[in-house]
Amino acid sequence: MKNKSLIITIAVLAIIVIYGVSVYNGLVNKDETVNSAWSNVETQYQRRSDLIPNLVNTVKGYAKHESQTLEAVISARSKATQVNINAKDLTAENMKTYQEAQNSVSGALGKLIAVAEAYPNLKANEQFLELQAQLEGTENRINESRRIFNKEAKDYNASIRRFPNSIIAGLGGFEKYPYFEAAEGTEKAPSVSFE
C-alpha cells in the first residue's frame, strides 16, 4: 500500500514537473519571438535613419534657404539614434522615450518633405523621388513591424498572466512588455475648413 502511494505521488510530481518545464519552455519561445519582433522594429528605424543623410544632402542642394528645417532633421536623427533599448529593458518609460525620439524624426521628415513642395526642381529630381519612395516604403515597414511587435507582445503578455502559467512566469522572472502606442494628438480628427 505504501509503495502504491509513493508511486502515485512520484507520478503526480513528475507530471507537474513536466508540465512546468513545458510551460516554461513555451514562455521562453514567446519571449524570444517578442525579442525578434523588437529587433525587426529597430532594423526598420535604422533603415530610415540611414536614408536621412542622403535625403538631407539632396534637399540641401536645391533648398539652401531651408537650413533650419535641414538642421531639425539632422538633430532629430542624431537624438533618435542615441536612444537604444535592449529588448530586455523594454519598460513603459523606456518605450515612451524611444517613441518620442522616433516621433520627432517623423515630424522633422514631414516638414522636410513639405519644404520640397516649394521647390519644383527638387520635386522633379530623380534622386529625391527615389529617396522619398524609399522613405515611404520604410515608414510602411516601420508601421508593420510595430504592429507585429504589439501582436507578439500581446500574445506573450496574455500567456504570462494566464493561470497556471502566471505561477511559472513569476518564478521564472517573465515580465510584461509595453506596447507601441499612437502618438499624442492622433486620436483627434483634423479640422477641415473650406472658407
- Specify the pTM: 0.79
The pLDDT assigned to 3 comes to 84
Give one DSSP letter per residue of 103-138, joined into a string: HHHHHHHHHHHHHHTT-HHHHH-HHHHHHHHHHHHH
Residue 104, judged by CB atoms within 10 A of its CB (0-12, 13-18, 19+), counts as middle
First-last CA distance in the chain: 93
Cell, residue 49: 535613419
Query: Burial letters for 171-195: b for 16+ Cβ neighbours within 10 Å, e otherwise?
Result: ebebeebbebeeeeeeeeeeeeeee
Closest alpha carbon to 180 in 148, 157, 141:
148
How is the chain split into domains, by residue range? 2-172
Return the pLDDT at 62.
73
pLDDT tens column, 27-79: 999 999 999 999 999 999 999 999 888 888 888 777 766 777 888 888 888 88
Question: pLDDT value at position 31?
Answer: 93
Class of domain 2-172: mainly alpha
CA distance 44 to 64: 29
Q: What is the DSSP string of 134-159?
A: HHHHHHHHHHHHHHHHHHHHHHHHHH
Q: In the chain, which stretches have pLDDT less than 50?
A: 186-187, 189-195
The pLDDT value recorded for residue 4 is: 86
- Spatial neighbors of 45 by CB under 8 A, at least 6 apart, are 80, 102, 142
pLDDT at 185: 52
